[in-house]
Chains A and B, each alone.
Chain A
Amino acid sequence: KQEVTQIPAALSVPEGENLVLNCSFTDSAIYNLQWFRQDPGKGLTSLLLIQSSQREQTSGRLNASLDKSSGRSTLYIAASQPGDSATYLCAVIGGTYKYIFGTGTRLKVLA
């Protein structure tokens, strides 16, 4: 059974710092991996989707990497801002519509 783990569960950093969020999964037979952002009281918003044939995806200050063989993905946030404060979730996609979510990392960026 696929298990997805995100460490740390919570992270607090000063504004301007570069940071890395981690996601690990137990079964490397995945199609894609996706990172989401969840603001308090809101649903999930897609940030980046990495296809299994890719090693990374970039969007603005965000860069996500994928290493299937080791079962790991990282989300790199450059020059963090207070507006980046949210919970970040990763999900591995094992087939059409088959999303398995991690428990998330709650990020707080201090002004």
Chain B
Amino acid sequence: NAGVTQTPKFQVLKTGQSMTLQCAQDMNHEYMSWYRQDPGMGLRLIHYSVGAGITDQGEVPNGYNVSRSTTEDFPLRLLSAAPSQTSVYFCASSPANGGVSSGNTIYFGEGSWLTVV
């Protein structure tokens, strides 16, 4: 049971380059999301999706783009990388009513370390 899988694990980009962080889950979860984790800032929500074809912005969406064409996949695109996007990125998924209904907890991938130089 793979859970939430993120690729790549590590990436170095030059300012202005674009790239896509991949996320896939095999639990048939409705909800998927992307967070970034920075020192002293906690996890901040970038974008999320409540189902295929439906996406919305989180707390820090600028500079990022997402799409959800299938239930399983939720890629995060950096359009023109900036040094401020140096961070650790986590993809997460949860079933319906995640967090509100007991037992419907959120599952995280192992993270993608991105450095923009």
Report chain A residues within 8 Å CB of B103.
Answer: 49
Number of interface residues of B (CB under 8 A): 27
- A4 contacts B by Cβ under 8 Å: yes
Let me know if B75 is at the binding interface, CB within 8 A.
no
Q: Which residues 1-49 in A have Cβ within 8 Å of B in the complex?
A: 4, 31-32, 34, 41-46, 49
Q: How far is the CA of A95 from the CA of B109 in the complex (A)?
A: 22
* Inter-subunit contact B90/A43 (CB<8 Å): yes
Partner of B99, one of A31, A41, A42, A43: A31
What residue of chain B has the Cβ atom nearest to residue A3's Cβ? B42
- Across the interface, do A31 and B110 meet the contact criterion of CB distance under 8 Å? no
Cα distance A98–B50 when bound, in Å? 12
Count of A interface residues, CB-CB < 8 Å? 23
Q: Which residues of B contact A49 (CB under 8 A)?
A: 99, 102-103, 105
Is A101 in the interface zone, CB < 8 Å from B?
yes
Residues of A close to B98: CB separation below 8 A:
96-97
Q: How far is the CB of A97 from chain B (nearest CB, A)?
A: 5
* Interface of B toward A, CB cutoff 8 Å: 4, 31, 33, 35, 40-43, 45, 48, 50, 90, 92, 94, 97-100, 102-103, 105-111
The 8 closest A-B CB pairs, nearest first, are A43-B108, A93-B99, A101-B43, A103-B42, A101-B42, A44-B108, A46-B105, A43-B110
Contacts beyond the supplied A34-B99, A51-B102: 4 A-B pairs with Cβ under 8 Å: A43-B4, A46-B106, A97-B98, A99-B106
